[in-house]
Amino acid sequence: MADAKIRLFVEHPLGPGQPVPLSMDQALYLFGVMRIGVGSAVLLFNGRDGEWRADVAEV
């Protein structure tokens, strides 16, 4: 997980291969503030399922 430096809290369940939709605020933060793009790695957590590495699939 060394390549994923951004952590983001999400409300959705997390699991392998599962797409996670982002809110508009989360998308603006990732793409506008942090300036990441498709293929970038982020760490997602929801307080229930642990922390998962995810790759941005689309903007």
Domains identified in the chain and CATH numbers: 7-55 (2.40.240.20)
Report field, pTM of the whole predicted structure over 0.75: yes
Question: What is the structure's pLDDT at 32?
Answer: 95
Q: What are phi and psi of 9, to 5 degrees?
A: -80, 135
Predicted confidence pLDDT, tens digits, the chain (59 residues): 457 899 999 999 999 999 999 999 999 999 999 999 999 999 999 999 999 999 999 87
CA nearest to 8, candidates 44, 56, 46: 44
Please state the three-class secondary structure of the chain as a single string: CCCCCCEEECCCCCCCCCCCCCCHHHHHHHHHHCCCCCCCEEEEECCCCCEEEEECCCC
